[in-house]
Amino acid sequence: MKTTKVMASEQSIDKFDGDLLVYSVCEPVNGEKSIKCDPIVEKEVINAFQLGDFSGKEGQTLLLYPNESQKSIMLSKRVLVVGVGKLVDKLGKIDIYNLREQFRKVGGTIALISEKVKAQKIMISVPNFEDVLLNNLTSADIAECLAEGILLGDYRFLKYKKEKKDEPDYKGLSEVKFYLEKGSKTTISLIRKAIKLGFVSAQSACQARDMANEPGNGWRASDFASYAQDLANKYNFKCTVIDKEKMVELKMGGILAVNKGSDEPPKMVILEYVPKLPKRFGDTKNIDTILLVGKGITFDSGGICLKQPSGMENMKYDMCGGAATLALMQAVGQESPENISVVAIVPATDNLTGGSAMKPGDIICHYNGITSEIVNTDAEGRLILADALAYGVETFKPVCVVDIATLTGAVIMGLGHHYSAVLGNNDKLINQLQEAAKRAGEPLWQLPLGKDYTKQIESKVADIKNTGGKSAGTITAAAYLEKFVKDTPWAHIDIAGTAWEFTEKSYIPKGASGIGTRTFLEFIRSWNW
């Protein structure tokens, strides 16, 4: 994976002789006739403002080329001015979630323009909006979101593009410097910490994208296992891979059934992070453990209930939950939080149609003994998650468990590509996840659960069945999972609509969005149960 150097710089702007120097300019709120910006580019921006070419609106850009006389005060090859949009609404209200998103989008726009002009070394002037935003969003917060947006926006998946084109390739950004404008209350060391937060979070989301963008023949269950093993070596995690033999021994009937149509063996990949004991906690027993479970179907053909061919290639993304979960562990390794243990489980297999494949009407028995009638072999995600949840809850006794999965097409009908769905048995957990998700710009919409929905998955011949009929498909899928977590506070996140084709924004590329990783990271960073 490419690494971009990201740093806070004390070098003053006029000494920067790289490819692109960037300013962020906000939009005046109540139709003021002035625009606030840096003195170096002030004249030109005001000129453009008066002509009506640039007003600081979100997504607007102005690319300037310093002339001979300006070169005495500016060595940068180019100057980019990016619109942030409004900092406050008409009533003067500040929405920090929206602002974080605005600055991430500015970051994404910076990456897009950098690609256009093939800029590799860039410098960002961290804007000083402290007089308007006060302590709601500090310059350090802004730097964090800018860094995150730039690195998320600079992502490309080009591994399989081998043919060389005529024009020289753009290799992406090599160096991103942040310069803190004078007069800010923030210090350079706070900026340094902030951009590190943005860097770690973007880098792990890009890891998730890398895994998820791999096609079905490029990323198999065993690849999840070796990825986890590598992380374990690097960060001292415990890694356990439950293989097929062990699954048989443990009676994990769900994942085994899904795997039956495949020649590729299944894996249940487990990573455990335990913090080094700071004295004040006394004993590891006092540290909360959270469990995260991600669906790792490396390709979903639908099985015997075969999907239609059109769009089936997208089912290579059916492991985005697993990707988000393991990529998160990379960030956990880097940040080593001291107040929380994290266990990540990815049940992984493909869902194919071989001669031994499970069939509609088959009855399987899950890890916890619950029997299930297979009505549709394409409802496979819940089968592998059920075993992982039951095993994880029993083995690790977490204070809470969250699973994430591209689980149902129905969630796209309900919420489209802009919200992921969240469901669960504990409102406190759901609220905390929603808060983390808002901070990350990956919003969650809660759907209900309850006995009327659970009734839809009652079976005449087994304890439950694996589909709940046409209506409320996202809810009945969650109702299935609920059976496997006992009383543990649990939440389920359905990312079928957002794992790819997520809302179009500057820092989200085509293909896998990497959704979930940053939400989990925010959740852990603000852990407080």
The residues carrying an active-site annotation are 307, 382
Query: Which tokens sit at 203?
Result: 């880098």
Applying CB under 5 A, does 494 fall inside the site for Mn ion? Answer: no
What's CA 267's distance to the chain center, in Å?
23
Among 300, 350, 494, 522, binds Zn ion (CB under 5 A): 300
Applying CB under 6 A, does 381 fall inside the site for ligand BES? Answer: yes
Applying CB under 5 A, does 378 fall inside the site for Mn ion? Answer: yes
**Inter-residue contact 194 to 143 (CB < 8 Å):** yes
What is the contact mask toward ligand BES in residues 283 to 302, using x (rule: CB under 6 A)? -----------------x--
Q: Alpha carbon of 444 to those of 168, 373, 497: distances in Å?
A: 41, 31, 12
Applying CB under 5 A, does 300 fall inside the site for Mn ion? Answer: yes
**279-301: buried (b, 16+ CB within 10 Å) or exposed (e) per residue?**
eeeeeeeebebbbbbbbbbbbbb
Nearer to Mn ion, 378 or 494 (CB): 378
**Taking CB within 5 to 8 Å according to partner kind, which of ligand BES, Zn ion, Mn ion, none is near residue 409?**
ligand BES
Minimum gap (Å) between residue 477 Cβ and ligand BES:
7
Adjacent-strand bridge partners of 220: none
Strands ordered across the beta sheet of 371-373 = 363-365, 371-373, 464-465
Nearer to Mn ion, 144 or 378 (CB): 378
Query: Which tokens sit at 87?
Result: 């900092």
Applying CB under 5 A, does 350 fall inside the site for Mn ion? Answer: no
Applying CB under 5 A, does 482 fall inside the site for Mn ion? Answer: no
Query: Which tokens sit at 68?
Result: 């001979």
Among 19, 144, 272, 378, binds ligand BES (CB under 6 A): 378
Applying CB under 5 A, does 214 fall inside the site for Mn ion? Answer: no
Strands ordered across the beta sheet of 5-9 = 5-9, 175-180, 121-126, 20-26, 79-85, 61-64
* Interacting span for ligand BES (CB under 6 A) from 30-38, 241-249, 407-415, 511-519: 407-415
Q: Alpha carbon of 129 to those of 22, 54, 88, 137: distances in Å?
A: 16, 19, 11, 9
Amino acid letter at 342? V
* Interacting span for ligand BES (CB under 6 A) from 191-199, 226-234, 333-341, 374-382: 374-382
String of DSSP letters for 251-286: T-HHHHHHHTT-SSPPEEEEEEE-----GGG-SGGG
Nearer to Zn ion, 241 or 319 (CB): 319
Cα angle for residues 14, 17, 20 (degrees, 5° grid): 95
Of 309-328, which residues contact ligand BES (CB under 6 A)? 318
Among 76, 408, 432, 506, binds ligand BES (CB under 6 A): 408
Of 315-354, which residues contact Zn ion (CB under 5 A)? 318
What is the contact mask toward Zn ion in residues 258 to 297, using x (rule: CB under 5 A)? ---------------------------------------x
Applying CB under 6 A, does 198 fall inside the site for ligand BES? Answer: no
**Interface with ligand BES (CB under 6 A):** 300, 318, 376, 378-381, 406-410, 467, 473, 496
